[in-house]
Chain A
């Protein structure tokens, strides 16, 4: 793997909740155009890191840069415009909106017409709606969501909802997309589809991916780099083959004796 410029830099992030350390001095970087996975046992702080990056939590100390921009200075809702997008561990769709409108909300930060234009449905609002609708259709085609286009998101099957959420994140045209357990609760076939989508997002849509996932087979297969967290600090980071051979990781993550199931 050749060295590339880091798109995301997390430097010395520490996060405490009333004195209890959730994250301690976490540093890692995500290189442009790569798929980087965050793994670690339950409670290791994976989602906390994502929440710090996306603005849900504010770390006590440390720095987070996306494409050279200091993210911690920005309010959460301003980070979308910097090229950041994410999905949630539990489905966080807008249940009452159609799939189409869910994806259109994903593009919210790209649509700029004003309230008056919207109220009279005139001028820029009409033109912009069509333009952005066209872009959303690309995402719908890519994720195979066309049968569900006009259905309310809350009424769809679980696997489809997961895909819609991925679509909403993708519709934002992000530079970096944070995926929090996109395969959780999926069967083998759906997992493989999702893995294919993630690879395509990286290769064809040009987005960099930071992934949290418990399915080790998938993580080992698609990641360019793996960051292992344990008790809120980075235990190891490196290529999948390095990680699966790392003694510290094996003992912390898989128990001390048997490491055979690491490689599927």
Chain B
């Protein structure tokens, strides 16, 4: 470690850094290195869970930007992801290179998100939630009925993504692609958070009257939040489309929107680390429950028919217990654990 005690910054720029201590950098590096080695060790099933996590991280952090950081509740996030998915899918089907298609998907989703963000000028809190719920339902209808673009109820079939002739086919290759995009997304949101736009978002959430006095154009920044959040959601959608290789409208229902809301509430509103934790938790939970019920079937073969229902119940129960015992989210618990170990073994 360094020879001095505590952190000393010699420039404002150094203090604005995201990872300031050697320990932070090393542990993050180690963590990333371990993740990058995962595809060599894990089997296809575990890798697919990891891949779903990467997509969920992008979706969750983008919703947290809008809801946790800017304070604008959105129940339409699932549909915005869907817009990105269909737009990116149509782009690659029409011969656009994958990365450009991903950006196009993001762009399409950003436009739609900003359009449905317009009511945020007048509506706050629960009323905005209802307005975005309307967006969700309208878009679901469009997914189902605009058959030339979405394939309607037949859905769309896709090819695995190709970048410069290299095909990302299979879980293993896909992991590197998804992981890279997820890491970029986290970096983007972290950067936004330490600059004037991120501060303006939080100021709108915390006290919009003062934000206005300070010169923050409330409407413009809310729209930017909607646009940026939907852009990243669209990217998540584009990845989802090219990962599952099949798109249909019901994938982007209200359930998906609520799952993402649950992720950021469980992880911690307004926290980037929390978004990641919430995404990981919410992706793991159904898998763990499935594994648990499968092992139970061996013990009690008679109740296998009830187990599916039981799994849903446990899922809901887990969420509720979380809200009761961990209302600040996993990010807060993580912070408490860290501060406990900081002083260990001298508690005071």
User: Chain A: residues with CB nearer than 8 A to chain B?
Assistant: 54-56, 75-81, 85-86, 88, 92-97, 101, 104-109, 111, 113, 115, 117-121, 125-126, 129-130, 133-134, 168-169, 172
* B-chain residues with CB within 8 Å of residue A108 when the two chains form the complex: 196, 199-200, 203, 211, 214-216
Cβ 8 A contact of B195, one of A88, A129, A172: A129
Q: Are B216 and A115 neighbours in the complex by a CB distance under 8 Å? A: no
Which DSSP category, helix, strand, loop or mixed, fits chain B's interface? Answer: helix
* 4 nearest A-B residue pairs (beta carbon): A109-B215, A80-B215, A118-B195, A94-B206
CA distance A99 to B179 in the complex (A): 35
User: A120: shortest Cβ distance to chain B, in Å?
Assistant: 7
Q: Are B215 and A97 neighbours in the complex by a CB distance under 8 Å? A: no
Closest chain A residue to B205, Cβ basis: A96
User: Chain B: residues with CB nearer than 8 A to chain A?
Assistant: 11-13, 16, 188, 191-192, 194-200, 202-203, 205-207, 209-218, 224, 228, 270
CA distance A56 to B209 in the complex (A): 8
CA distance A94 to B209 in the complex (A): 10
User: A152: shortest Cβ distance to chain B, in Å?
Assistant: 10
Known contacts A56-B209, A93-B210; A78 and B215 CB within 8 A of each other:
yes
User: A167: shortest Cβ distance to chain B, in Å?
Assistant: 12
Closest chain B residue to A120, Cβ basis: B191
User: B167: shortest Cβ distance to chain A, in Å?
Assistant: 29
Q: Are A104 and B191 neighbours in the complex by a CB distance under 8 Å? A: no
Q: Are B12 and A80 neighbours in the complex by a CB distance under 8 Å? A: no
Q: Are A81 and B215 neighbours in the complex by a CB distance under 8 Å? A: yes
Cβ 8 A contact of A93, one of B195, B206, B216: B206
Q: Are B202 and A97 neighbours in the complex by a CB distance under 8 Å? A: yes
* B-chain residues with CB within 8 Å of residue A125 when the two chains form the complex: 195-196
* A-chain residues with CB within 8 Å of residue B188 when the two chains form the complex: 119
Query: Can you add 4 more A-B contacts, CB < 8 Å, to A81-B215, A101-B202, A129-B195?
Result: A77-B212, A93-B206, A94-B203, A117-B195
Q: Are A104 and B199 neighbours in the complex by a CB distance under 8 Å? A: yes
Q: Are A111 and B196 neighbours in the complex by a CB distance under 8 Å? A: yes
